[in-house]
Amino acid sequence: MFKVLPIKDKELFLRYAIPCGEVLVKRGELREELLKELNDSVKNKEEIETPIENVFKVAARMCTILAKQMGKSGIDSEVIRRYFLIEHEKAIKWRKQIRPDLKVKDCLVYPGRVLRVDPDRVLARTPLGEKFFRNDFVEGLRKKDRVSVHYDYISEKIKADHVNKMLKRGEREK
């Protein structure tokens, strides 16, 4: 039996997993109320009691595999970022064979540059163009900040080296 490693940074994991949750809700694999509860917990920086490895099973398993490859005993921020920012595409392409409703381009996490911050949304430029994103998870964003975006969400501020790795991933996609 496959044993998922403990998720040490649940908040960061959820910042990337919650945007996928709407797909799971549409499929009937996740209750909308639970997704909202998890979103609110991250947004309000509350303790997360829900066993999220049972909610986002594929991401937790893929992060476990990656963590073991990296010689780690748990899923920490380095594993989470490597999975969602760099390795996520491999998992999506694999899952698409099982779940043809997945749109690889939509599921990927992209780097972005903040163009404008409004009270309830952020305009950012990504490799896919300019778009407004939800800003439920990141405080203190400013114009020109580098961010990661997933579906309709800003997941976090990111460093230039993460942006470069993500852009290199994008070059491999072509």
> Could you tell me if 96 and 116 lie in one domain?
no
Domain hosting residue 84, numbered range: 10-104
> Could you tell me if 26 and 91 lie in one domain?
yes
Give dist(CA 114, CA 90) in Å, integer.
Answer: 27
What secondary structure letter does DSSP report for 134?
B
- Over the Cα atoms of the chain, what is R_g? 15
The tokens for 151 are: 């579906």
The tokens for 123 are: 């305009």
> Could you tell me if 56 and 119 lie in one domain?
no
* Cβ atoms < 10 Å from Cβ of 72: 16
What total of structural domains would you count in the chain?
2
Last residue of a domain, one of 104, 139, 160: 104
> Could you tell me if 22 and 68 lie in one domain?
yes
> Could you tell me if 30 and 98 lie in one domain?
yes
Last residue of a domain, one of 104, 132, 153: 104
Give dist(CA 174, CA 91) in Å, integer.
Answer: 18
pLDDT tens track for 6-36:
999 999 999 999 999 998 999 899 999 999 9
> Could you tell me if 78 and 155 lie in one domain?
no
pLDDT tens track for 137-161:
999 999 999 999 999 999 999 988 8
> Could you tell me if 129 and 58 lie in one domain?
no
| Helix, strand and coil in the chain, % to nearest 5 | 50, 20, 30
What secondary structure letter does DSSP report for 8?
S
> Could you tell me if 87 and 113 lie in one domain?
no
Q: Looking at 68-108, which runs of residues are DSSP E strands?
A: none
Residue 99: the pLDDT is 76
Q: Where does residue 23 rank: exposed (0-12), middle (13-18), buried (19+ CB within 10 A)? A: middle
Which H or E run contains 75? none
Mean pLDDT of all residues in 86-108: 80
> Could you tell me if 141 and 118 lie in one domain?
yes
Which H or E run contains 132? strand 129-133
Beta carbons of 152 and 18 less than 8 angstroms apart: no
Task: Tell me the CATH number at 117.
Answer: 2.30.30.140
170: pLDDT strictly greater than 70: no
Last residue of a domain, one of 104, 125, 149: 104
What secondary structure letter does DSSP report for 54?
G
Among 30-34, 112-116, 161-165, the minimum mean pLDDT is found in 161-165
> Could you tell me if 76 and 151 lie in one domain?
no
